[in-house]
Amino acid sequence: MKNYFVDRYGAIKDINFTPIFEELIFRGKEV
């Protein structure tokens, strides 16, 4: 998924989205 954002939005490739995705996945499992 991160590769998709890097390719689709190269301008934000330097931002680390891992914590955000992990939080979203964690919340998704919680609900």
Is residue 1 within 8 Å of 21, Cβ to Cβ?
A: yes
Name the token pair of 4: 């998709």
| pLDDT reported for residue 25 | 81
| pLDDT reported for residue 22 | 83
| pLDDT reported for residue 2 | 57
Query: What percent helix, strand, coil does the chain show, rounded to 5?
Result: 75, 0, 25
| pLDDT reported for residue 19 | 79
pLDDT in tens, 1-31: 555 665 565 655 556 677 778 888 888 887 7
| pLDDT reported for residue 28 | 82
Q: Is 6 exposed, middle or buried (0-12, 13-18, 19+ CB in 10 A)?
A: middle
| pLDDT reported for residue 7 | 59
Identify the residue whose tokens are 């955000």: 20
